[in-house]
Amino acid sequence: MSKNKSSIKTKKAKLIINNHTYEFPIYNSTEGESVIDISKLHSLAKIFTYDPGFTSTASCESKITYIDGDKGILRYRGFDIEDLANKSDFIEVVNLLIYGDLPNKEQLKKYKELITRHTLLHEQIINFFQGFRRDAHPMAMMVGVMGALSSFYQDSLDIGDAHQRQEATRRIVAKSSTIGAMAYKYSIGQSFISPKNNLSFSENFLHMCFSNTAEEYKVSPVLAKAMDTIFILHADHEQNASTSTVRLAGSSGANPFACIAAGVSSLWGPAHGGANQAALEMLEEIGSSKNINKYIRKAKNKNDPFKLMGFGHRVYKNYDPRAKILKKISRKVLKHVGVKNDPILKLATDLEKVALRDKYFIEKKLYPNVDFYSGIILRAIGFPPEMFTVIFAIARTAGWTAQWTEMIEDPIQKIGRPRQLYTGEKFMVYGKNRSKKNTK
Ligand code: SDX
């Protein structure tokens, strides 16, 4: 815990174990829950805490993102997400997350130039794509190529060197969009399109995805703004599964590209970033509002593994503020692309209405999350569902690199190494004992 005002010890928590009272310091946060520092518990009482899924565990101290799940609040470095979505742009938000404050005009201009000049990839990286099947999921290419960057940018692997750390963060954010676009082009059998330095980050991404060697894609300001806002909304989210993966990988001293590749892998899961693809596919499977009740019943049925994708959240027990903003953007984008009454958007809003009136969803506080509406927008812009999580990953490189930097620069940082509740066999002699559980 860094010794600053937010960590001055105030009260103590008492734990009585085997009639012995142990005291642990409580640290106050600047917003949200306080924490009990139990780091000495095992050495004092030879006992572990047990918290599968870390539902009540703070893994670190951070100053980057604050979420109030009950009030539906999300702030990056204290700035409310709606404020940033309306007034900022993605690269300014990247700078804010990593450096802690909004850059001035000069700093932002310079930072944008730095990011732009890192969007190109080493020519040899193109060979990596040739090794994938054409029908490989674009996230498989994101994982593979992101990790491979460490073999090309060896002058930004030394995590002890502040300049190399910063260079690595810029390369990861900048190149993630080029890799994502290349993964898309490769999966549809089109040539790769190089980035253009005169375009903004979001305009460039749309250009690299939708231009082709026969025709330049005309980037519409409405779609570029929608793309940029989607990147802002997905940029960071406190200690979620993929960010915790990046922190844990980074705590061993692994190079930044390998850590981010680990984060991409974790994000791919349908319970996490993969939910945006799963949510759209679910809506397409439901097909029409008359089938809603059947699927709500499936979602409530304990014996049915079906979950309403894009609904529910570990932290938000209220409406995800990002979903609110995305719902508004979906209407604007659909209107812009000339889709009057998109049946999928109508189905999504009908499904939301039915679910939010249902006792099960009310009791369990299950609301639409960031993944419920994002797919509708991305599909309207022209992306296939397989690209939705790639876009989430591009945006989240901002948060992953900011959180990784904060962890590496934390003076009390150490390798993450949780313990366990062991319930396996006691002592077995080879050739004499057999496991009681071995019914074979
Ligand atoms: C993201 O952590 C982050 O910050 C993630 C993220 C980010 O920006 O990084 O916000 C991005 O990952 C958003 C979440 C995307 N995932 C989905 O939309 C998939 C569907 N949602 C569920 O899988 C679930 O809600 C989770 C995984 C998101 C949260 O799971 P938790 O916190 O472990 O909650 P839980 O599974 O314990 O659910 C509590 C109860 C359970 O019922 P009981 O066992 O108490 O009877 O609610 C039920 C669950 O079965 N439930 C659902 C449900 N989500 C939870 N039931 C039906 N449909 C759902 N979607």
Give the C-alpha distances (Å, rounded to integers) separating 355 from 46, 160, 282, 358, 390: 46, 50, 15, 5, 28
Asked if residue 235 has its Cβ within 6 Å of ligand 1, the reply is no
Instruction: Evaluate: CB of 275 within 6 angstroms of ligand 1.
Output: yes
Average pLDDT over residues 41-61: 97
For residue range 112-147, what is the model confidence (pLDDT) as tens digits? 999 999 999 999 998 999 999 999 999 999 999 999
| pLDDT for position 5 | 44
Separation between Cα atoms, residue 163 and residue 29, nearest integer Å: 30
**Of 137, 207, 313, 342, which one is the catalytic site residue?**
313
CA dist., res. 133 & res. 227, Å (int): 28
Q: Using the mean position of ligand 1's atoms as its centre, give its distance from the Cα of residue 406 in Å.
A: 27
Is 122 part of the annotated catalytic residue set?
A: no
Q: Which two tokens stand for residue 104?
A: 């001035």
For residue 2, pLDDT over 70 is answered with: no
Residue 325: both structure tokens together: 């903003």
pLDDT digits (tens, 9 = 90+) for 168-194: 999 999 999 999 999 999 999 999 999
309 CB under 6 A from ligand 1? yes
Task: Report the separation in Å between the CA atom of 340 and the middle of ligand 1, taken as the mean of its atom positions.
Answer: 32
Termini Cα distance of the chain? 50
The pLDDT of 35-46, averaged and rounded, is: 97
Does the structure show a pLDDT above 80 at 1? no
Cβ–ligand 1 distance for 196 under 6 Å, the answer no
Pocket test for ligand 1, best of 65, 81, 277, 369 (most atoms within 8 A of CB): 369
C-alpha R_g of the chain: 23
pLDDT in tens, 291-304: 999 999 999 999 99
Residue-by-residue DSSP string for 228-283: HHHHHHTS--SS-HHHHHHHHHHHTT--HHHHHHHHHHHHTSTTTTTHHHHHHHHH
Going by C-alpha positions, the residue among 16, 34, 33, 13 that lies closest to residue 24 is 13
Write down the pTM of the prediction: 0.96
Q: Whose CA is nearest to atom 2 of ligand 1?
A: 240
- The H or E element that residue 17 is part of is strand 9-17
46: pLDDT strictly greater than 50: yes
Whether 237 is in the pocket of ligand 1, judged by its Cβ within 6 Å, is yes
Judge whether 313 counts as a catalytic residue: yes
Q: What is the DSSP string of 332-379?
A: HHHHHTT-SS-HHHHHHHHHHHHHHHSHHHHHTT--B-HHHHHHHHHH
Proportion of the chain above pLDDT 90, given as a percent: 95
pLDDT level of residue 438 (50, 70, 90 thresholds): low
pLDDT at 10 (0 to 100): 66
Per-chain mean pLDDT for the chain: 95
Going by C-alpha positions, the residue among 206, 234, 201 that lies closest to residue 220 is 206
**Gap from CA of 124 to ligand 1 centroid (Å):** 41
Q: Ligand 1 centroid to 188 CA: how many Å?
A: 32
Q: How big is the chain, counted in residues?
A: 440
